[in-house]
Amino acid sequence: MPTEATPSRSPLNRLEARLAGYRPTTRIRERGCVLAVGDGVAWIGRLPSAALDEVITLEEGSRALVFHLGRELVGAILLHQSDRLTAGTGAELSGSRPSIPAGDSLLGRVVDPLGRPLDGGEPPADCIRREIFGPSAPILARSFVNSPLYTGTTIVDTMIPVGRGQRQLIIGGSSTGKSSLALDAVISQKGNGVLCVYVLIGQKRSKGVAIVETLREAGALPHTTVVVAEAFELPGLKYLAPFAGCALAEEWMQRGRDTLIVYDDLSLHAQTYREVSLILRRPPGREAYPGDIFSLHARLLERSTVLAASHGGGSMTALPIIEIQQGELAAYIPTNLISITDGQIYLDQQLFSAGFLPAIDITRSVSRIGGKAQHQRVKEEVGRMKLDYLQFLELELFTRFGARLEASVEARIRRGRLLRELLRQERRAPLPVEYQLAWLIAFNEGMLDKKKPEEIAGVTKRLAAAVAGSSCTLESDRDAWLALVSQALADDGGMNGQQA
């Protein structure tokens, strides 16, 4: 027997309600035609109403994105290409812009720039769709960078600090540890409540698999989403990848969460943009890049910020990576990104070859706003350490000529060499900020002055173990920290004595 509610839900009633509201009108629908296709792009005619960044659906199942508007033809980059796509295929405007599913169900997943799973799992469920080319937050919705983001790298957390919402460029030559530095930053967020997005643009599949496995082994995959556009993918997907990852992080930021996004790397993204632009006959500029390459990356990185408390208080910290050739910092794309970001971490090929890891060149690295976000206790201990270290490097260079030195200069060189050993760090071994405070206090109090450089590695391990087993925090009294450090170094001296 039908209940009272049943009739309103029946198909006949729904059809009747639909027909009651139906009014016959004239509908105009444009139907275009693919005139040429190849190299990941398509030329389409008879679509006079097409708009930039609008998705085009092709009748055999392919999809494309409007990238160039001509007088007669539309240039589109393919987002999905079937084997049946040829000249003569029909095309229609979808009226929508590209979007990606966003939400907590994407944590721990590996997806492509359109949100399709690449890890063999089911498509993400219970997600909203978010526009990939969304606008950045308005000025009135933003706040100042005032909270630190710890990367787990000693040099960065002490001398080149990064704040939440900052855009810090990682720049260096090939195989100098750029991705390792970014991976350590992602791993270091484990348990800190910071959600991460790692975007791989135009990388080999072997590198993508290695990064995912590293994150899984370190227990960092549950708070991370990996967006992958491999080297053999269509240029359209590689073009979309950083914007898609940004949209994911932006969704969490607007929910009040702190996020970290890594773009690995933007030099390949720029090359993809140049390739597509040249194929679509856009006028080339410097180094054959199109004239809007600067605004492309500025539009992307401008979306990283700190939201005001009235807008949720979330943040998005960006670590874009870029590769330079033969140490040439003055190339077009590197100078563009240096001017867009809030500082850079420069990794040097010679330091890497000499075995100084991480191979960060402190003389060429800078953080323009991170100091304002650094914790006051760490900031007080670091003080002039960066300047003193740079002076030590100059003095050490001077001693190579065999000049006779004063006792004070010899003491400064000896302390500089100890400091250099303290800054060494193995990869995949991020260290907490409490450890940074411990070694800073030990160094500033002269507790390490009698140590030899080759003994520093053992001292740092003992300090790290002592910090891990203590209850001291950054808010603890300095006397408590002095007692902890003294005890750790005393135990170290006892062990050395027993070994002797």
pLDDT tens, residue by residue, 453-492: 999 999 999 999 999 999 999 999 999 999 999 999 886 5
Length reported for the chain? 500
Write out pLDDT tens, residues 21-58.
888 888 788 999 999 999 999 999 999 999 999 999 99
Q: Is 417 left (phi over 0), alpha (psi -120 to 50) or beta?
A: alpha
Spatial CA neighbour of 50 closest among 75, 28, 82, 27: 75
Tens-place pLDDT, residues 166-204: 999 999 999 999 999 999 999 999 999 999 999 999 999
What is the number of other CB atoms lying within 10 angstroms of the CB of residue 171? 25
Whether pTM > 0.85 for this model: the answer is yes
The residues carrying an active-site annotation are 368
Considering only CA atoms, which of 289, 294, 186, 302 is closest in space to residue 243?
Answer: 302
- Which of 125-134, 326-335, 404-413 bottoms out in mean pLDDT, i.e. has the lowest? 404-413
Q: What does the DSSP assignment read for 22-62?
A: ----------EEEEEEETTEEEEES-TT--TT-EEEETTS-
CA-based max dimension of the chain: 107
Give the residue-averaged pLDDT of 221-247.
Answer: 96
Strand ranges of the sheet holding 343-347, from the earlier edge strand across to the other edge: 110-111, 224-230, 194-203, 258-264, 315-323, 169-172, 343-347, 366-367
* Topology (CATH) of 31-97: Elongation Factor Tu (Ef-tu); domain 3 (2.40.30)
Which SS3 state, helix, strand or coil, does residue 91 take? strand
The residue to which tokens 């990996």 are assigned: 226
Backbone angles phi and psi of 74, in degrees to 5: -110, 130
Q: Distance between CA atoms of 282 and 276, rounded to whole angstroms?
A: 9
What span, in angstroms and rounded, lies between the C-alpha atoms of 257 and 255? 6
How far is it, in rounded angstroms, from Cα 434 to Cα 141? 33
| Burial class, 493, CB count within 10 angstroms (exposed 0-12 / middle 13-18 / buried 19+) | middle
Nearest C-alpha neighbor of 215 from the set 308, 107, 313: 107
Domain ranges for the chain: 31-97, 100-374, 383-491
Nearest to 296 by CA among 246, 259, 257: 246
Q: Measure the CA angle with vertex 463, ends 194 and 485; round to 5°.
A: 110
CATH superfamily of 383-491: ATP synthase alpha/beta chain, C-terminal domain (1.20.150.20)
Q: At what angle do helices 332-340 and 266-279 cross, to 10 degrees?
A: 120
Q: Which two tokens stand for residue 342?
A: 């809030």
Distance CA 497, CA 500 (A): 5
250 vs 8, more confident = 250
Evaluate if residue 403 carries a pLDDT over 70: no
Candidates 3.20.20.70, 3.40.50.300, 3.30.390.30, 3.10.150.10; correct CATH number of 100-374? 3.40.50.300
Strand partners, 379: none
User: What is the Cα–Cα distance from 324 to 322, expressed in whole angstroms?
Assistant: 7
| Type and span of the H or E element at 398 | helix 385-399
Which of 303, 274, 307, 302 lies closest to 288 in space, CA to CA?
A: 274
